[in-house]
């Protein structure tokens, strides 16, 4: 575990107050990053799985646990120690609105870190957004293993719940093929599928069965003591798996979703899609009837069933490893639809006017998702996919360079279902209150799938989900009756059948978002396979002056070329722009 003590470097000291004018600063030997992540590849074999080349963070998967505090600027140095692959690191769920080049998306926010180079990421979590997050590479399929927990601790806004200790339950998938083979297959014509997950790992370990094949590998152990309260932080860092899970003999009390404290909500099971996080309180038994209880996890909405386990252990450290049970102790629910929708509410009622009502909405954008199978199989959103490298450089970089694409036009977008066909982005203006509806439709071949949709840049008010086509009036009545929704960054678009007619609306998810911060952000399905098959969009919030005016050329010059001067290497210190350097935040307001 890496527990940061925030160390103010000499450079930060000279900038201890508000940085009025962000400027380029060289991170030479006097600069001390708050944490260092080193990414490498190595042939590793896990029990049940063939040895293969795997992208690791600090030598392991998952990588080290990072802990930071809200409201403070941190610099995390990420080394790409791989000799033949690009890399980025994304801080999943953090808004990053204050540091536009530190979001870690090679499609948008930065050129990837070239082999044998490093990049210093600037991170400052708005006060009030402490919670459970994770980091992962955003390059290709690397996030399947190059990932780890990122915990933002409460500091200025105390956690409303008391607990003795927290424990991380970090879910990952494992595949037989390595990540570059999987990536190549997904963009090939015809499509070569990744295969199904071989196991659902908990904190890097797991065993159970996949498609009927038993794997008796040793299980992760979650040590607990009697009569205590634990905060279990569930992190859906899977590539594909939508997991249903429950703990034998214990219920859970949900207290946080995607970085926001909720009213307590009791549940006997959880569903966790890729990209989603929940915290739940676990009250351990004062007098357990046995010393170990299984955590059982199963994949949902896939053609085959993967079932994995971990162990909740009340007893002494075992001398031999725990292995999966011969019979699953639990029967987990089969239905996935609408899990927790309209049931989770913010811990404190939203500050006046912060949750926009239907009357406040200034524009509704429907993103229709569809799978096209003529030629290469791609997922398209309002007729566009993002597999084709367009533009051939990160979007924000292109906007700065102003040569290959022009700034998105609102006018063209308004005439074309919200997307500007020339710049292929969804533009929005500061102050707009958007309702974004993601609409599932039957594929060319009729199939339907589930899609955990994730937004970078901001958390949206989650308006729920339903079958058929979205109806604003009916849904507004449902919200009024159930109470204010919570803010999330990843929510599920369900499927209500396995197939329907080509193009038929079947299932929606709706979000509401007041645009307050300029920036360029991805919105995408967090199933890595779908993402690589085109299920990604780009949103440009704010006009040209707002998006590009905060820092101008020549200060950003080092960001505009692959391997530019913001990337350090053995012979060169990087020079980067400091956007938020100070101990107390930069006037970046409380998030609401
Ligand atoms: Cu965790 Cu763009 O994603
Ligand atoms: Cu998807």
530 lines ligand 1 (CB under 6 A): no
The atom of ligand 1 lying closest to the CA of 134 is 1
pLDDT at 50: 81
Is the pLDDT at 18 greater than 90? The verdict is no
User: What mean pLDDT comes out for the span 488-516?
Assistant: 96
What are the extents of the domains in the chain?
8-158+553-587, 165-313, 358-548
Using DSSP bridges, classify how beta strands 519-525 and 505-514 pair: parallel, antiparallel or unpaired: unpaired
Summarize pLDDT for 330-379 with one digit per residue, the tens.
Answer: 999 999 999 999 999 999 999 887 999 999 999 999 999 999 998 899 99
Question: Quick one: which H or E segment has residue 281?
Answer: strand 277-283
Could you tell me the two tokens for 228? 């205590």
Cα angle value 155/157/158 (rounded, 5°): 75
Atom of ligand 1 nearest to the CA of 522: 2
- Write the pLDDT tens digit of every residue in 563-583: 999 999 999 999 999 988 654
Decide: 173 and 182 in contact? Cβ < 8 Å: no
Report the distance separating Cα 571 and Cα 559, nearest Å.
Answer: 18
| Alpha-carbon gap, residue 524 to 506, rounded angstroms | 19
The pLDDT of residue 403:
79
| Residues in the chain, total | 592
239 Cβ inside 6 Å of ligand 1 = no
**Each residue of 474-491: pLDDT tens digit?**
999 999 999 999 999 999
Q: Which atom of ligand 1 is nearest to the CA of 456?
A: 2
CA 425 – CA 542 distance, rounded (Å): 12
Give SS3 for 578.
coil
Q: Phi and psi of 358, rounded to 5°?
A: -60, -35
- Tens digits of residue pLDDT in 116-151: 999 999 999 999 999 999 999 999 999 999 999 999
Q: What is the pLDDT of residue 572?
A: 97
The string of pLDDT tens digits covering residues 73-108 is 999 999 999 999 999 999 999 999 989 999 999 999
Residue 424 CB–ligand 1 contact under 6 Å: no
Quick one: pLDDT at residue 23? 72
pLDDT confidence of residue 20: 52
pLDDT for 2 beyond 70? no
Question: What pLDDT is recorded for position 21?
Answer: 63
Q: What is the DSSP string of 507-547?
A: EEEEEEEE--S-EEEEEEESSHHHHHTT-EEEEEES-HHHH
The answer to whether residues 1 and 65 touch, using CB atoms and an 8 Å cutoff, is: yes
Q: How confident is the model at residue 592 (pLDDT cuts 50, 70, 90)?
A: very low
Q: Is 275 in the pocket of ligand 1 (CB under 6 A)?
A: yes
Q: What is the DSSP letter of 397?
A: H
Tokens representing 204 are 């890097």
The answer to whether the CB of 124 falls within 8 A of the CB of 76 is no
To which residue do tokens 């990540």 refer? Answer: 179
pLDDT at 410 over 50: yes
Name the CATH code of domain 358-548 (choices 3.50.50.60, 2.60.40.420, 3.60.20.10, 3.10.200.10): 2.60.40.420
Same topology, domains 8-158+553-587 and 358-548? Answer is: yes
* Residue 16: pLDDT over 50: no
CA atoms within 13 A of residue 200's CA, in its CB half-sphere: 32
Distance CA 350, CA 347 (A): 9
| Residue 236, ligand 1, Cβ within 6 A | no
Instruction: Please tell me the pTM assigned to this model.
Output: 0.94
Examine the pLDDT at 466 and tell me if it is beyond 90.
yes
Q: Whose CA is nearest to atom 1 of ligand 1?
A: 92
What atom in ligand 1 is closest to the CA of residue 93? Answer: 1
Task: Please tell me if the CB atom of residue 524 comes closer than 6 angstroms to any atom of ligand 1.
Answer: yes
pLDDT tens by residue, 240-263: 999 999 999 999 999 999 999 999
List the single range of 201-205, 462-466, 588-592 with lowest mean pLDDT. 588-592
Q: How far apart are CA 358 and CA 513, in angstroms?
A: 11
CB-CB contact of 509 with 493 (8 Å)? yes
Kindly report the three-state secondary structure assignment for every residue of 183-206.
HHHHCCCCCCCCCCCCEEEECCEC
For residue 277 and ligand 1, the question of a CB distance below 6 A is answered with no
Closest Cα to atom 3 of ligand 1:
92
pLDDT at 340: 97
Cβ–Cβ under 8 Å, residues 160 and 168: no
Beta strand pairing call for 451-455 and 575-577? unpaired
Q: Is the pLDDT of residue 276 over 90?
A: yes
Q: Which CATH superfamily is domain 8-158+553-587 in?
A: Cupredoxins -  blue copper proteins (2.60.40.420)
Region 200-206 average pLDDT: 96
**Direct distance between the N- and C-terminal alpha carbons of the chain, in angstroms, rounded to an integer:** 31
Q: What pLDDT, on a 0 to 100 scale, did the predictor assign at position 7?
A: 37
CB 87 within 8 A of CB 112: yes
Confidence of residue 49 (pLDDT cuts 50, 70, 90): confident
Count CA atoms closer than 13 A to 526's CA, side-chain side.
Answer: 28
User: What CATH number matches the domain at 165-313, 3.20.20.30, 2.60.40.420, 3.30.70.360, 2.60.40.10?
Assistant: 2.60.40.420
State the pLDDT at residue 580.
Answer: 82
User: Which ligand is the nearest neighbour of the Cα of 379?
Assistant: 2
């Amino acid at each position: 575990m890496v527990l940061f003590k925030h160390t103010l470097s000499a450079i930060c000291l000279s900038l201890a107050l508000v940085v009025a004018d962000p400027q380029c600063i060289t991170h030479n030997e006097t600069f001390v990053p708050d944490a260092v992540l080193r990414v490498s590849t190595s042939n590793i074999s896990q029990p049940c799985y063939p040895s293969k080349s795997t992208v690791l963070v600090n030598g392991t998967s998952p990588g080290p646990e990072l802990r930071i505090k809200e409201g403070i600027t941190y610099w995390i140095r990420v080394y790409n120690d791989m000799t033949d692959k690009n890399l980025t690191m994304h801080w999943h769920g953090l808004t990053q609105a204050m540091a536009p080049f530190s979001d870690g998306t090679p499609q948008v926010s930065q050129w990837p870190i070239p082999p044998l180079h490093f990049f210093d990421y600037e991170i400052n979590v708005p006060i009030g957004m402490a919670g459970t997050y994770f980091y992962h590479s955003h390059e290709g399929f690397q996030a399947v293993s190059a990932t780890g927990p990122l915990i933002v601790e409460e500091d200025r806004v105390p956690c409303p719940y008391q607990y003795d200790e927290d424990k991380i339950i970090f879910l990952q998938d494992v595949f037989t093929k390595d990540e570059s083979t999987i990536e190549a297959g997904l963009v090939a014509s015809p499509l070569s599928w990744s295969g199904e997950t071989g196991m659902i790992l908990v904190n890097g370990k797991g065993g159970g069965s996949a498609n009927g094949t038993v794997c008796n590998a040793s299980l992760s152990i979650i040590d607990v003591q009697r009569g205590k309260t634990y905060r279990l932080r569930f992190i859906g860092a899977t590539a594909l798996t939508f997991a249903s899970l429950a703990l034998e003999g214990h219920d859970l009390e949900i207290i946080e979703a995607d970085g926001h404290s909720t009213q307590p909500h009791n549940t006997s099971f959880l569903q966790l899609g890729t990209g989603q996080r929940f915290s739940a309180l676990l009250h351990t038994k004062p007098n357990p009837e046995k010393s170990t209880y299984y955590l059982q996890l199963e994949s949902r909405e896939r053609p085959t069933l993967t079932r994995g386990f971990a162990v909740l252990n009340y007893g002494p450290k075992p001398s031999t490893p725990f292995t999966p049970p011969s019979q699953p102790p639990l029967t987990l629910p089969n239905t996935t639809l609408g899990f927790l929708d309209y049931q989770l509410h913010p811990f404190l009622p939203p500050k006046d006017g912060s949750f926009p009502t239907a009357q406040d909405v200034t524009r509704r954008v429907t993103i229709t998702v569809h799978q096209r199978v003529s030629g290469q199989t791609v997922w398209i959103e309002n007729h566009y996919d993002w597999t084709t490298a367009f533009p051939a450089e990160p979007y924000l970089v292109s906007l700065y360079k102003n040569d290959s694409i022009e700034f998105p036009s609102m006018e063209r977008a308004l005439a074309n279902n919200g997307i500007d066909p020339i710049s292929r982005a969804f533009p929005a203006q500061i102050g707009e209150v958007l309702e974004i509806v993601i609409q599932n439709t039957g594929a060319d071949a009729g199939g339907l799938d589930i899609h955990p949709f994730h937004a970078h840049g901001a958390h949206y008010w989650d308006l729920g989900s339903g079958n058929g086509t979205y109806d604003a009036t009916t849904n507004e009545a449902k919200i009024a009756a159930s109470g204010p929704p919570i803010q999330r960054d990843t929510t599920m678009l369900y499927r209500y059948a396995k197939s329907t007619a080509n193009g038929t609306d079947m299932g929606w998810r709706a979000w509401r978002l007041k645009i307050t911060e300029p920036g360029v952000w991805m919105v995408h399905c967090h199933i890595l396979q779908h993402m690589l098959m085109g299920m990604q969009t780009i949103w440009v919030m704010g006009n040209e002056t707002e998006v590009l005016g905060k820092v101008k050329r020549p200060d950003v010059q080092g960001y505009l070329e692959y391997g530019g001067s913001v990337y350090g290497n053995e012979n060169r210190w990087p020079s980067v722009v400091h956007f938020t350097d100070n101990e107390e935040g930069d006037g970046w307001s409380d998030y609401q």
